[in-house]
Amino acid sequence: MAGESNKSTVLVVDDTAANIELLHAILHDNYKIKVATNGAKALHLATRDPQPDIILLDIMMPGMDGYEVCRRLKDDHQTSSIPVVFITAKSQIEDEQRGLDLGAVDYITKPFDAAIVETRVRQHLTNYLQSRELARENLELRSNASRRFGDHTEESVSALIAAGENDSVEFKSTLRWNMHADKSDKRIENACLKTVAGYLNADGGFLIIGVTDDGELIGLGNDHFETEDKFLLHWVNLVKGYLGAASIPYLRSMCYEVTGQRLLVVECLPSPTPVFFRRDNDEAFFVRMTNTTQALKPSEILAYIAQRFTA
């Protein structure tokens, strides 16, 4: 039996208690069940979160019949993709044809066989969930295609620095070296990683290392790495280790020489999936808001992820 949180939701629409009880008995072990006893309530529940993943719809109901409910579902962009299966006592071929013409994926006549209902619900749900995942992947591909890394030069990096820090540009003097204590300090690494996580979870941006808060170029020499390659390898390993390897395609980390100083420019694109910062047995979720990187409270994370990452 699937875990409750992983169960798909079936909306049963019928005005007869016996039919509702029978469908509930057939499906409740594997699915979450919602019930509507008339067309108006069905339309209301179909647009509420979480939306149903499939709708089992009777035709003969007082007021709005099942045909009209189906028509309205298919005319509304919020519900048009949800599969509708008619379950009805109307067994004439013209009734079935009308239901399919309105956009239903199946038509089951009463009295129905429990195994047939369960099998068809499972098949239509599989097709629907696969098509929804494919649509999500296509949307992600289109989004990624529209966001590309820029072609940067010394002049363009210099222009970013000259404009100063803002909601999409942040400066860090060093990656890991505390110049006051003259020793490495992972708190500085953490600050850099938090900024990058914030950009990945928001609209992207630039972290530029080797520049003071007021825009003075001091370069990478203070970080005490033997070579620039080792410096870059250390940075990439930090990202993989504490933000996750899945974030790497959405970062480009390159060194540029600007007015005689070598700088690390980390360009971040929006990540299609949430990025968590994990270090020292701690996990946090950062976003970029105005000119600062902020950690969201646990109560805020789910709402932000639902808004930002749900297609």
| Tokens read off for 293 | 């990187």
pLDDT of residue 145: 45
pLDDT of residue 142: 55
Q: Bridge partners of 57? A: 13, 86
Tell me the C-alpha distance between 234 and 229, whole Å. Answer: 9
151-309 — its CATH code? 3.30.950.30
Phi, psi of 252 (to 5 degrees): -130, 120
For residue 190, count other CB atoms closer than 10 A to its CB. Answer: 18
Establish how many alpha carbons lie within 13 A of residue 94's alpha carbon, considering only the half-sphere containing its beta carbon. 0
What letter would DSSP give residue 220? S
pLDDT of residue 2: 53
What burial class does residue 55 get, using C-beta atoms within 10 Å of its C-beta: 0-12 exposed, 13-18 middle, 19+ buried?
Answer: buried
SS3 state at 298? helix
Phi, psi of 248 (to 5 degrees): -55, -45
Kindly list the distances between the CA atom of residue 272 and the CA atoms of 201, 249, 294, in Å, as whole numbers in the listed order.
Answer: 8, 11, 19
Tell me the C-alpha distance between 50 and 250, whole Å. Answer: 30
Tell me the C-alpha distance between 47 and 77, whole Å. Answer: 10
Letter string b/e over residues 101-124, b meaning 16 or more CB atoms within 10 A of that residue's CB: ebbbbbbbeeebeeeebbebbeeb
H or E stretch covering 245: none
pTM: 0.55
- Residues, the chain, total? 311
Tell me the C-alpha distance between 311 and 144, whole Å. Answer: 14
DSSP per-residue string spanning 119-176: HHHHHHHHHHHHHHHHHHHHHHHHHHHH-------HHHHHHHHHH-SBTTEEEES-SS
Using alpha carbons, select from 111, 116, 51, 108 the residue that is nearest to residue 81: 51
pLDDT of residue 139: 61
Fold of 4-143: Rossmann fold (3.40.50)
Tell me the C-alpha distance between 29 and 250, whole Å. Answer: 41
In which residue ranges of the chain is pLDDT below 50? 1, 145-146
Domain boundaries, the chain: 4-143, 151-309
5: Cβ contacts below 8 Å, ≥ 6 apart: none
Residue with tokens 């035709």: 59
